[in-house]
A = this chain, B = another copy of it.
Amino acid sequence: MVVAIASPLEIEYVNQITAVDHKRVRVLFRPDLLPPRRYVADHTGPACWSRTPQQQREWEELLVQADILWDLPAGAKKPLLELCPKLKWVQTSSAGVGPQVQRAGLAETGVIVTTSSGIHAAPLAEFVFASLLFHTKRIAQLQDWQRERTWERYCAGELRGQTLLVVGPGRIGREVARIGKAFGMQVIAVGTSEDPGRRESLGVDEYVSRSGLDDALGQADCIVLCCPITPDTEAMIGWEQIAAMQPGVALVNIARGAVIDEEAMIEALQSGHIAFAALDVFQVEPLPKESPLWSMPNVLVNPHSASTAYAENARITEIFVANLKRFLDGKFVEMTPLLDKLRGY
């Protein structure tokens, strides 16, 4: 079986993959044909980068041999099965890859797609609490006073006792809920399931299905959007839902920009109805220079990097190595986490 490494990877992880089965696995790794990394665990490289015609030829000669892909190749201009006619399995480096898999023409094929669902839960949950604590403990105010060398005793809020609404209790949402409970917050989760037993299985104080969303929005002091993007969740938070929120609410969006109406959110941030927002995702990315979000004092902009952590490739390698063993043994049904091509995540 030929494994082609299609996004930048540290040599130590390549070696771990090779070591799974020297006889049956051949790993094609040509870092010179991959985009340069802008940061640890960069999987796509800069938008301006491209291969020379010679590099592109060599790259395509490499892909054509692949049975297995480490990651969806960035910037491919042809359907993936034309580039990799022998392709049987792709391991992606992120979780919500429904749209990319669709664009690559794999949605209605038998190619197995395993994702990295789960590995971003810890860094994303940490970003959520970095944001909520930044707001609640009034860190921006401390920074202002520090710049002025002003010693001003003050009082801050507390997460303890606040109500946290987790929209989308998947692996990330469950991690957010768990840490929220550790901080003594009341946690409400909103999900797609109608099963009331979800409250207990999620370990939250209250569980509501989508029909209860507007009501739940009105109870929350802090709202975390961490649902996948699907036709159901697109534009799920519109003018009406924002109006239903409590004045002074704090919002964190680590889902996708299209989940919330950005214009309505900006207006609510300007009026203070939403007191604070930490945003990892936007309607258009990169966030356009002219967006008012950049200069709003009650907004923290993260360039869609909240999930990126130094340990990321180590964790994807762990998933990949386990799946490679299953794949070689023909235990395809045990491969996990599998992309549900219908749901798109």
Tallying the copies of this chain within the complex gives: 2
A160 vs chain B, min Cβ distance (A): 5
Is the C-beta of A161 less than 8 angstroms from some C-beta in chain B?
yes
What are the residues of chain B within 8 A of A295 when measuring CB–CB?
149
What are the residues of chain B within 8 A of A127 when measuring CB–CB?
137, 156
Bound state CA distance, A245 and B127, in angstroms? 26
Binds B, one of A38-46, A109-117, A234-242: A38-46
**11 A–B contact pairs at CB < 8 A?**
A38-B152, A126-B136, A126-B137, A130-B134, A145-B303, A146-B301, A149-B289, A151-B287, A156-B305, A156-B306, A161-B311
Q: Is the interface of A mostly helix, strand, loop or mixed?
A: loop
Q: Among residues 86 to 141 in chain A, which have CB atoms less than 8 Å away from a CB atom of chain B? A: 122-123, 126-127, 129-130, 133-134, 136-137, 139
Is the C-beta of A158 less than 8 angstroms from some C-beta in chain B?
yes
What are the residues of chain B within 8 A of A145 when measuring CB–CB?
301, 303
Is the C-beta of A199 less than 8 angstroms from some C-beta in chain B?
no
Is the C-beta of A310 less than 8 angstroms from some C-beta in chain B?
yes
Please list the 5 inter-chain residue pairs (A to B) with the smallest Cβ-Cβ separation, ordered nearest first.
Answer: A182-B182, A151-B286, A130-B133, A40-B155, A130-B137
Known: A139-B300, A156-B308. 5 other contacts (CB 8 A): A122-B158, A133-B133, A154-B303, A155-B305, A157-B310
Q: Does the CB pair B126–A160 fall under 8 Å?
A: yes
